Amino acid sequence: MRHWDAPEKADILVSELLGSFGDNELSPECLDGAQRFLRQDGISIPTSYTSFIQPITATKLYNDVKAHKDLVHFETAYVVKMHSIAGLASSHPVFTFIHPQHSVEIDNRRYKKLEFEISRDTGSVMVHGFAGYFDAKLYKDVHLSIEPSTATPNMFSWFPIFFPLRKPICVKPGLPLEVHFWRCVGSTKVWYEWCVTSPCPSPIHNPNGRSYWVGL
């Protein structure tokens, strides 16, 4: 799609570039480049997609990452079928991308601050990281989703993605969990950074994409 020249422009552009976090397989960058094949009033399928995160207790996943005994694995996101986990709050939307994007200057960098309220009924909980999902709007009211509250029935094409924390964070009931997520874009790669700032601060994970990135 970077080098091909279409003989004429299309009415509809259909793609399947979605990753478990929506944009983590460079769908925005790919479709931004491919939209030159589309008429000005053309339709992209999907028309948009949104990523979601949810704080989780995941002792086994955390111990599997910890067993590597290095920093790199704690700053890497993993696509994994989750079994022995507990969701600690409902998932919140993070990043949304819309196609086609007719802005003069396209910028796929994103930042989102999120606040989760842990249920008062659970007692103190350990947050080992975050489960990531996506919801894609294919066209009008037709959606494709792995986000738990809107998940498409009987669809197993995508597992969730797991963003670990280097150290689990204990959250007492009723206290907010404040989380920051970045989608960063460089000249040769795209990467995520994440951290917790409340109830206690964590380091920023994966600064400058030092451990985990996707090449452009």
Residue predicted with more confidence, 133 or 175? 133
Instruction: Name the residue ranges covered by the structural domains of the chain.
Output: 10-215
Mean pLDDT across 167-189: 95
pTM: 0.95
Mean pLDDT across 120-127: 85
Q: Tell me the pairing of strands 161-171 and 214-215.
A: unpaired
* From 32-36, 60-64, 66-70, the region with the lowest mean pLDDT: 32-36
At 16, the pLDDT band (50, 70, 90 cuts) reads very high
* Predicted local distance difference test score (pLDDT) of residue 102: 85
* Predicted local distance difference test score (pLDDT) of residue 9: 96
Inter-residue contact 177 to 56 (CB < 8 Å): no
| SS3 state of residue 15 | coil
Short-list 162, 166, 168, CA closest to 205:
166
Q: What percent of the chain has pLDDT over 90?
A: 89
The conformational region for residue 28 under phi > 0 = left, psi -120 to 50 = alpha, else beta, is alpha
Residues composing the chain:
216
Whether the per-residue pLDDT at 104 is higher than 80: the answer is no
Helices (H), 9-160: 27-34, 59-66, 71-74
Whether the per-residue pLDDT at 123 is higher than 90: the answer is no
* Buried/exposed 61-80: b ≥16 CB within 10 Å, e otherwise: bbeebbeeeeeebbbbbbeb
Q: Which residues are catalytic?
A: 16, 25
Other CB atoms within 10 Å distance of the CB of residue 3:
5
Among the CATH numbers 3.40.50.920, 2.102.10.10, 2.70.160.11, 3.40.630.10, which is that of 10-215? 2.70.160.11
Q: What percent of the chain has pLDDT over 70?
A: 100
The dihedrals phi and psi of 122, each to the nearest 5 degrees, come to -90, -15
* Predicted local distance difference test score (pLDDT) of residue 197: 98
